[in-house]
Structure 1
Amino acid sequence: MRSVVYTKPGDSSVLTLEERPLPEPGPGEVRVRVVVSGVNPTDWKARAGGTYGDGLPFPEITPNQDGAGVVDALGEGVEGLSVGDHVWLYMAAASRPTGTAQEYTVVPAAQAVRLPDGTGFDIGASLGVPAMTAHRALTTHEHGPSRLAPGALTGRTVLVAGGAGAVGHAAIQLARWAGATVITTISSDAKAALATAAGAHHTVNYRSEDAATRIRDIAPDGVDIVVEVSIPQNAGLVAEVLANHGVVSIYANNGGDDATLPIRPNMGINARYQFLLLYTIGDDALRAAAEDVTAALRDGVLPVGEAAGLPLVRFALEETAAAHDAVESDTVGKVLIDVTTE
């Protein structure tokens, strides 16, 4: 089979396309023929040394956590999946060398989730890191909810920072599905159009508007949940617009590793700052996210494509290095790699 691998950390030039033997699933694992591989910032950051440093824990690693495809073989003891099932994959390369930038991959069965009938592989490959991160970000408020479903966020206001990104797109869609009023900050009219297409009720251009005033006009009592991509840049704004007992769910370090928080404004509203990383949130949270995201898919939520607010940018498997570069350079939309035919 064709497999993209790297044997040392570095820039995208360390990625090479090789022929490798077909892997066999062990107990509790499934083999999946990958149709589409999804690329996220975590993928290029891991390849560049952000996860493992100067050394690798495996002789070679195939990158990319997310993907979608067809179950091809079952390991001993696997229940609930059958050969031929269409599935979406998450955390395929988490503490494993078995990412989705290859024609076949082997993953724990729990990390291969059956796609609802009629849900395409492009959607499946766009879930994983973005949708599960968004789910966690929306379920950290001290008063709940801990799960998402229609009505779970009724009466709440959610602010999504950077609504044109993949996590922002998923957060907008999941929050609206769960009944929240959704505000998002964006930096251009084009990104406002994407966020609106995703389902945001209100967009605020933080470059041309007084963002705090606009958000307070929309939500006089403040916002209950902030899905935050850049707390170093947004700490002041967040403190101005957060509601009493509001939570700021921080899932990225865009803007730097250090942030300064204004203490008195946050203290006065009993603010909560919840950091989150998908790889360490625990099996219960991952399971809840996988179940709720799949339920949203059954309701027709989380579509992709420009009309749905998330343009698709496609590459061939042999162009995986270029796909990584596209994500690293902040290409707008979802970067996908076509691996095999449907």
Structure 2
Amino acid sequence: MRIISYESFGNASDVLHLSEQELPSPQAGEVCVELAYSGVNPSDVKARAGSRPGVTTPPFPRIVPHSDGAGIISAVGPGVDTARIGERVWIWNGQWQRAFGTAASHIVLPAEQAVTLPDKVSFETGAILGIPGLTAAHTVFGGGEIAGQTVVIHGGAGTVGYLAIQLAKWGGATVIATAHGAGVTRCEAAGADVVLDYKADDLSDQILAANNGNLIPRIIEVEFGQNIATDTAVIAPNGTIAAYGSALNMTPTLPFYPLLFKAVTLDIVLIYLLGKAERIHAIDRLHDALADGALKCPVQDVFDLKDTALAHETVEAGGRAGAILIDVTA
């Protein structure tokens, strides 16, 4: 099998290398997936660069990166129904707490982490459903149904935000998104009812005005530390801030008293650790939206496996208008 791997942290072009290794056999409860595409996420890039707080050395001697991917089950281990051989699947947590992820021609992993890919859904879309798709679905629907509510989605032009806008609209919510520059048009294309500039000095006032002066019951947050003051001002009593990122301010100061007297729920989302029931619910929401034709997963660039370093650099550059994928067959 062909793999991309690294043994030390560093720049993508310095540490990522293409090589061959023997294809492992699936053990009890496992499947082997012949991959078509691998998805590259910011978390994969940060892990390879060694930029996660407190992590100074790679957790394994050799790491094949990436948690997301899609392909076909080519073999199964003991205890797994042989009828799954030939099944189209998408992958979640491919490299979470494991050495070998999806930047390879094949991956062996627990059978439950290879989810049946619905008919007519492409492998390209399947490779986006893991981290971005599940994060969007859980942040939108993790507190229950949202029909008739107003949802604020900060950073709606990002991959998670773009998917969240579509899911929230499909779920019957009014969507207020924030973006800047070209991201405004992207949010509008996703279906947002209102798009506001996140750099506006009076953003909280604009959010409330867009909601007829009413407070917001659910906020989906990509920059928790940066936006906590705005979110505190506009969140409704018993509302939820579902935060999945805070890159610009990793040590925010919380205005506890105003949050307390609104009884706000802070839902800090790390999709890798989603409980089984919550994950199944998010998967079902994604599949239902796809079946209804309500969810599109744009792809900006597809790189050959040998060019994985370029894919990482593209993610690091930011400002993307779609997902970055690796064609692991090329």
Match of 1:131 among 126, 130, 133: 133
User: C-alpha distance in 2, partners of 1:51/1:133?
Assistant: 21
Match of 2:281 among 274, 279, 288: 288
State how 1:60-209 maps to structure 2 within 5 Å. Answer: 60-79=62-81, 82-140=84-142, 144-145=143-144, 152-188=145-181, 190-208=182-200
Matched, 1:230 2:223: yes
Change beyond 3 A, Cα 1:293–1:209: same
Could you tell me the TM-score, scaled by structure 1's length?
Answer: 0.90
Segment of structure 1 superposing worse, 111-120 or 48-57:
48-57
State how 1:255-274 maps to structure 2 within 5 Å. Answer: 255-274=248-267
User: C-alpha distance in 2, partners of 1:75/1:320?
Assistant: 30
Change beyond 3 A, Cα 1:209–1:257: closer
Q: Percent of aligned positions with the same letter in both sequences?
A: 39
Q: Secondary structure at the residue paired with 1:36?
A: strand
Q: What is the RMSD computed on CA atoms of the aligned residues?
A: 1.9
Q: Secondary structure at the residue paired with 1:138?
A: helix
Q: For residues 60-89 of structure 1, what are the alpha-carbon distances to aligned partners after superposition, in whole Å with 9 as ceiling and x for unaligned?
A: 111000011111111111149622221111
Runs of 4+ that moved beyond 6 A? none
Partner of 1:18: 19
* Structure 1 gaps, min length 5: 146-151, 306-310
Partner of 1:46: 47
Contact 2:68/2:102 (<8 A) preserved: yes
What amino acid maps onto 1:14 in structure 2?
V
Partner of 1:148: none
User: C-alpha distance in 1, partners of 2:3/2:76?
Assistant: 20
Shift of 1:321: 1.1
Shift of 1:136: 2.1
User: C-alpha distance in 1, partners of 2:201/2:191?
Assistant: 21
Q: How many pairs are equivalent?
A: 326
Partner of 1:329: 317
Contact 1:5/1:16 (<8 A) preserved: yes
Matched, 1:35 2:36: yes
Q: For residues 242-287 of structure 1, what are the alpha-carbon distances to aligned partners after superposition, in whole Å with 9 as ceiling and x for unaligned?
A: 1121111111122121112223432332222121212223223222
User: C-alpha distance in 1, partners of 2:189/2:83?
Assistant: 34
Q: Secondary structure at the residue paired with 1:44?
A: helix
Could you tell me the TM-score, scaled by structure 2's length?
Answer: 0.93
Matched, 1:7 2:7: yes
Contact 1:9/1:53 (<8 A) preserved: no
What amino acid maps onto 1:230 in structure 2?
E
Q: For residues 40-73 of structure 1, what are the alpha-carbon distances to aligned partners after superposition, in whole Å with 9 as ceiling and x for unaligned?
A: 1110111123288233333311100001111111
Match of 2:303 among 281, 293, 315: 315
